[in-house]
Amino acid sequence: MPFARCLVALSLVLAGCATVPVAPPTAPPSAPGYPVSAEACEALARAEADVAAAAALFALWTTARDALRDARAAATRGDSAAALRLAIRASSQARLGIEQLDYPSTDRWAAGAPRNTAE
């Protein structure tokens, strides 16, 4: 009987966690005040979404974060070419970080398995 009560309590706690609202992502630089091309705005919005997705999966590379920061700065300055180039880089790096989650784990090396058997 105590197990059943614990199970019910745990399910209620988890149900409560599922209804916690998540803060919306920050507005991309396509908002008024960023004098960049429409193509750069689209790339920045895509980069914002890709970086947010990688961060949510704990797969965000620092290169993606830095490229997005630099793309926002370029958009603020009105440099469409730099904003576009950096936003594309940020998206690419964020997607690579997410793809890396599918790579095999390196935990077996920590257990003492040989690292290089073909010498």
Confidence tier at 106 by pLDDT (50, 70, 90): confident
Q: What is the pLDDT of residues 13-64, one digit of tens each?
A: 455 544 444 444 555 544 445 789 999 999 999 999 999 999 999 999 999 9
State the pTM of this model: 0.64
Task: Give the Cα separation of 30 and 53 in Å (integer).
Answer: 19
In this structure, is residue 84 part of a structural domain?
A: yes
Mean pLDDT on 68-73: 96
| Domain around 60 | 34-103
In this structure, is residue 119 part of a structural domain?
A: no
Q: Which helix (H) or strand (E) holds 44?
A: helix 38-56
Mean pLDDT on 77-91: 96
Number of domains in the chain: 1
More confident residue, 18 or 104: 104
In this structure, is residue 38 part of a structural domain?
A: yes
Per mean pLDDT, which range of 2-16, 35-49, 70-84 is the poorest?
2-16
Contact 89, 101 (CB under 8 A): no
